[in-house]
Structure 1
Amino acid sequence: MRSGMMRMIPEIDLSSSQKKALVDLACDMIRLKTVASNEAAIVEIIKNIFDGANIRRHIIEPEQGRASIIGFIGSKRPRLMLAAHTDTVAPGSGWKTDPFKPVIRNGRLYGRGSVDDKGPLASLIAAALILKQYEAKLRGSLVIAALADEESGSKLGLGYMFNSELWRSIKPDYAVVADTAHNMHAIDIAEKGVLRISVRCIGKAAHGASPQKGVNAINAMAELITLLEKHRMRFKKHTLLSPPTISTGMINGGSAPNMVADACEATLDIRYLPSQKPSGITREIKQLCLRVQKKRGCSFTLSKTLEMKPTETNKDSSLIKCLTKAAEVVAGIKPRLIGLSGATDAKRLILAGVPAIGFGPGDEDAAHAANESVDIKELYEFARVCVLTGFELLL
């Protein structure tokens, strides 16, 4: 350990057997297809690990097969949560190997979930097993969470836990969410807000042979989308977050190919900054709708389907300081602070009143991509960073 970097805490490296167990666990989880389903199979594996190490645990399963598991080490405060998710996105095309058959090649682990989020989860489990050995000495406690349903919004995972009696008894003081990648060179402390708006356009039906007698809702929606693409929303710059965006994610309209479409509906996905308010964004979109209405004789209605506020953790928090020091000690890295356009469980934790950050191993562009992979050495180092962060906060 580099002198002067951290206070005197135990020197930790992973043994050969601990490294093997970490990789074996990651491979076992990759083999299980958990695309918006079957997280309970991973929970069963982790349950057996926790039971073998005498780690107290609780399982929640709001729907059959959609389970999460939470382990507990110690019972005092402060309380640190280490969290990762067990579900993945679908593999998609372009793979050179079977995405659900892990492959180790040139020091990298290949497979769906290797970086998002099963490899990092295996590192968190390895860190928890080490911290368990120091349980009697901890002045605080650790919560280790393997969560379902993150890729689909966390309703059956973290969101469900927020509404349970369990959450009220285990709410942490800090949280590290292993779902950011950037090869541990960045700490996610800010995330844009998410606003989804359903836009419905009503036109006038007519025979397809006489389109001039109708008002085509699809054409009107196309014009609105073109205006939205060119529109620059009103906002103040943020030091960590890029400008806000509007994306048309879904569209549906018309009832027959030989009819002028009398209705069309589109869903807008908007990522906005702390200086903006959903009401103001909605007003800006309505103004564009009015321009199209006056020109085409149609009508628009807007309805909000999702809202998640922008979030930011204090850059001077003790969690960030401890984790930064740990990364320097373990890997010679001084992570920079960043903001994300996407929404992770760190956002959900912050909205629930928990100072949370995103941090983890792996290449930023590997998640959700074909031939997803992670450097195995980074998984080892990430486990050690989590151990040292735990020591610094809890020992």
Structure 2
Amino acid sequence: MEQKALTKKAIELLKELISIQSFSSEEDKTADAIEKWFETFDIPFQRKINNVFAVNKYFDESKPTLLLNSHHDTVKPNQAYTKDPFRPHIEDGKLYGLGSNDAGGCLVSLLATFTHFYESENLSHNIVMVASMEEESAGKNSLRGLLPDLPNIDVAIVGEPTLLDLAIAEKGLIVFDAVVKGTPSHAAHPNTDNAIYNTIEVLDWFKNYTFDKISESLGAVKLTVTQVNAGSQHNVVPSQVDLVIDVRVNDKYTNAEIAEILKREAPCELKERSLRLNSSAIDKNHPLVKSGIALGKKTYGSPTLSDQAALSCQSLKLGPGDSTRSHSADEYIYVHEIEEGIDVYIKILNGFIKQN
């Protein structure tokens, strides 16, 4: 099928996906719709829970493998929506609906790209296409849980909205629970060890703490206190204050290194929730990146997390849409962004997966 017709089909699929509720772990109906895409093009596929995946027709185990991946789950719509989040419609060139930008536009563009290359012979790489579940919740059944069922992946394109520029690095994430302790007492009595007052110094420490290593593409590690909780009633000084610390990690540190440093130096008790969401990167001189640069695309480092965190191989984040629209009210993607997305994906792959 020619590219123009594939693009039309992809936009039709995106409208269908928008119309189906697909919150994380509830993506069964959107998985059904994605199955129909493969069936339409006579492409054999597999499904694990709500992950749907396929390999190119001339898959060869002796060749390296390129993964194309994006997700079909969404967050829940926020209360600021003025439009029906499940009614796809186009106004002024914008296709509105929940998941249109994050990451439906990327997903259908990658599906169209995979379909374009599906029957190509003598490619330098195999291609695996994965439409994954539970990305928004980083769930156990997401791409991370699917990897054992896939061929070994050598390099990947993860479809997320990047305005079609090349995100060659992505910050990792560690969430810490912190405890600042003190002495509980009646509010009427003197207390020089008030946990809430003790927290002032701790908050100031977190506000001013910096890590030494700066990344060329991702900048500094960013540390932010995002939650504070203490006390149960007005006349009781609590025994502790609970904090939540969000740390966005650059590619100069592993999550384990960050945890070790903070637990050693912070003036309070710290416990990490998980260390598995590490930063990701791809060499700027990787042929996949160079193929994008040859099209005039810029490179940058992304502060947001994606399924790249599940991958141990080099990976590139790339897709139509704008990350600032993700999780916003009245989410949308421009129709022309999808058209351009499919075109850019195909051109980048043409420059990377050379036919012999």
Normalising by structure 1, report the TM-score. Answer: 0.81
2:138 corresponds, among 131, 150, 153, to: 153
1:90-129 map, 5 Å? 90-129=76-115
Q: 1:238, 1:279 → 2: CA distance?
A: 15
Residue of structure 2 equivalent to 1:178: 159
Deviation at 1:38, TM superposition (A): 1.6
| Secondary structure at 1:36 match in 2 | coil
Change (3 A) 1:219 1:32: farther
Unaligned regions of 5+ residues in structure 2, if any? none
Deviation readout 1:64-102 (Å, 9 max, x if unpaired): xxx111111131223221110111122213323112211
Deviation readout 1:277-305 (Å, 9 max, x if unpaired): 6546654565451xxxxxxxxxx322222
Q: 1:262, 1:120 → 2: CA distance?
A: 49
| Secondary structure at 1:365 match in 2 | helix
Deviation at 1:313, TM superposition (A): 0.9
1:244 corresponds, among 218, 221, 235, to: 221
**1:343 is the counterpart of 2:305:** yes
| Secondary structure at 1:387 match in 2 | helix
Deviation at 1:321, TM superposition (A): 2.0
Deviation at 1:394, TM superposition (A): 5.2
Q: 1:54, 1:172 → 2: CA distance?
A: 24
1:347-358 map, 5 Å? 347-349=309-311, 352=312, 354-358=313-317
1:313 corresponds, among 282, 297, 300, to: 282
Larger radius of gyration: 1
1:1-395 map, 5 Å? 14-15=3-4, 17-61=5-49, 67-73=50-56, 74-76=58-60, 77-132=63-118, 134-162=119-147, 164=148, 166-167=149-150, 170-179=151-160, 181-184=161-164, 186-210=165-189, 212-213=190-191, 215-229=193-207, 231-276=208-253, 278-279=256-257, 282-283=260-261, 287-289=265-267, 300-307=268-275, 308-325=277-294, 328=295, 334-349=296-311, 352=312, 354-392=313-351, 393=353, 395=355
Normalising by structure 2, report the TM-score. Answer: 0.89
Question: When you count helix as a share of all residues, which structure comes out higher?
Answer: 1
Residue of structure 2 equivalent to 1:297: none
Q: Compare 87-96 and 24-33 and name the one that shifted more.
A: 87-96
Checking the alignment, whether the CA contact within 8 Å between 2:171 and 2:280 is kept in structure 1 is: yes
| Secondary structure at 1:89 match in 2 | coil
Unaligned regions of 5+ residues in structure 1, if any? 1-11, 62-66, 290-299, 329-333
Residue of structure 2 equivalent to 1:8: none
Q: CA RMSD in A?
A: 2.3
Change (3 A) 1:39 1:78: same
Q: 2:215, 2:125 → 1: CA distance?
A: 35
Checking the alignment, whether the CA contact within 8 Å between 1:214 and 1:260 is kept in structure 2 is: no
Q: 1:235, 1:120 → 2: CA distance?
A: 35
Q: Compare 271-280 and 72-81 and name the one that shifted more.
A: 271-280
Deviation at 1:54, TM superposition (A): 2.2
Percent identity of equivalent pairs: 23
Change (3 A) 1:222 1:150: farther
Deviation at 1:107, TM superposition (A): 1.5
Q: What letter is aligned with 2:342?
A: A
